[in-house]
Amino acid sequence: MDINKEALEIHQDVIKWRRDLHRIPEIGLDLEQTSAYVRARLDEMGIPHRQAAKTGIVALIEGGEPGPTLALRSDMDGLPIKEETGLPFASANGSMHACGHDAHMAMLLGAAEMITKARTRLKGNVKLLFQPGEEGYFGAAKMIEDGCLKNPAVDAVAGLHVGQIFPELKTGQIGVCDGPILAAATKFEVTVKGESTHGALPHLGVDAITVASEIIMALQRIISREMDPLHPAVLTIGQIRGGEAHNIIASRVTLSGDFRTLYEADRQFISSRLDQICSATAEANRAGAEVKMLGGYPPTVNDPGFTARFVESASKVIGPENIVEIKKPNMGTEDISFYLEKIPGVFFVLGTGNEKKGIIYPHHNSRFDVDEDVLWIGPAVFTRLVFDYIG
């Protein structure tokens, strides 16, 4: 089986699928059009599938002999961004595939077509996970709740992302590392409770705004003075809400933010210190503070053993000189982390930026685009990995 040749033969199909999907971005878990499009392509290939996580899809390619099951994952949702690319296939519905999920789906469909044609040679199974709600809707967790890793049980998982997440990647190169590649993110909300009074009589009340200000500054010292400086971490207050009028001492202020870490121990430490600092600072100022942890994403951590196998497979497709070791993890998040918490696997990045073509804009930008000339690499790498793992 000449995998590169076959991937190039279906390259135009992959581009067409990507463009079709690019026209119809949808948000969160409500991906009716997107899901219907992907299911129609799977039906054409004769691949059985079921829905999960509302509009997600779990498809199964059974091999000719029993063996382990490898899952290949693609996210599906777009973003509430008005597209400004000027592409002839640009979205016109007010949303946009500004993170490349359209390309992810198209490449996984390409891999599905290649794999299913040679499925009798497999000693095991391939699960295709088309997942909604990656952009903050916990889609991966919901897919797992709906049994996507069961019947048959999944032994390993692989997923990719396109774009310029890591600037060291050139067009058509693959970036990967063993261990942490993306951060954990934990959302929180702090409500500071004071007592209102006239601004001319501050001694009769408790100013929630000044207390909140002290809390904000104190929380930043967790990062600068309490964390190991060799462990990346960042804490952001993104929203402050409070106050009623310019001459009234505020009785209530709400702070919202998140913090990002690469290591679970650091995540637990910051959670604990955040609660302690907010409560103690408020008490010292005769106020109260209620801290709520609103959940988040675990770190995206690649399994070293499986990553080594992946690198060997990917090198056969694009050559070892085009495999780039990611030495500095990104503090962004990805909900493939929920799968990687439960089973070994790999998350890798395909470089799809191209300065010569003007494809230079970052993810979540209204002018984000991908170089379609390299999209054959995704199906080829996925297929090579499958046949090296269970072929």
Nearest residue to 85 via CA among 375, 358, 372, 374: 358
**Does the pLDDT of residue 89 top 90, yes or no?**
yes
Residue range 12-61, pLDDT digits in tens: 999 999 999 999 999 999 999 999 999 999 999 999 999 999 999 999 99
Rg (alpha carbons) of the chain, rounded to whole number = 24
Q: Which residues contact 22 (CB under 8 A, 6 or more apart)?
A: 87, 89, 90, 91, 97, 102
Q: Is the pTM of this model over 0.85?
A: yes
Q: What is the pLDDT of residue 288?
A: 98
Write down the pLDDT at residue 195. 97
Q: How far apart are CA 322 and CA 320, in angstroms?
A: 5
Separation between Cα atoms, residue 27 and residue 370, nearest integer Å:
20
What pLDDT score does 285 carry?
A: 97
With H, G, I as helix, E, B as strand and everything else as coil, classify residue 19.
helix
Per-position DSSP letters for 155-223, written without gaps between them:
-EEEEEEEESSSTTPPTT-EEE-SEEEE-EEEEEEEEEE-B-EETT-GGGSB-HHHHHHHHHHHHHHII
Best CA proximity match to 174, nearest among 37, 318, 72, 302 = 318
Give 75's pLDDT tier (boundaries 50, 70, 90).
Answer: very high
State the distance between the two ends of the chain, measured CA to CA, in whole angstroms.
11
Q: Cis link prior to 299 (omega < 30° from 0)?
A: no
Closest CA to 298 of 255, 266, 345, 346: 266
pLDDT reported for residue 264: 86
CB-based contacts of 177, cutoff 8 Å, min separation 6: 302, 307, 325, 326, 327, 329
What confidence score (pLDDT) does residue 39 get? 98
pLDDT band at 84 (very low <50, low <70, confident <90, very high): very high
pLDDT at residue 1 tops 90: no
Rounded-to-integer distance, Cα 108 and Cα 231, Å:
34
DSSP track, 317-346: HH-GGGEEE--S-BS---TTHHHHHHS-EE
Share of the chain above pLDDT 90, in %: 98
Q: What domains appear along the chain, each with residue ranges and CATH number?
A: 3-181+299-390 (3.40.630.10), 184-297 (3.30.70.360)
Average pLDDT, the chain: 97
Give me the DSSP letters along 224-277.
Answer: IIIS-TTS-EEEEEEEEEE-S-TTEE-SEEEEEEEEEESSHHHHHHHHHHHHHH
* Segment 213-263, tens digit of pLDDT: 999 999 999 999 999 999 999 999 999 999 999 999 999 999 999 999 999
| Dist. CA 267–CA 269, nearest whole Å | 5
388: exposed, middle or buried (C-beta count within 10 Å: 0-12, 13-18, 19+)? middle
Contact 322, 162 (CB under 8 A): no
> What SS3 class is residue 365?
coil
- Per-residue pLDDT tens over the stretch 272-328: 999 999 999 999 999 999 999 998 999 999 999 999 999 999 999 999 999 999 999
Q: What is the reported pLDDT for 357? A: 97
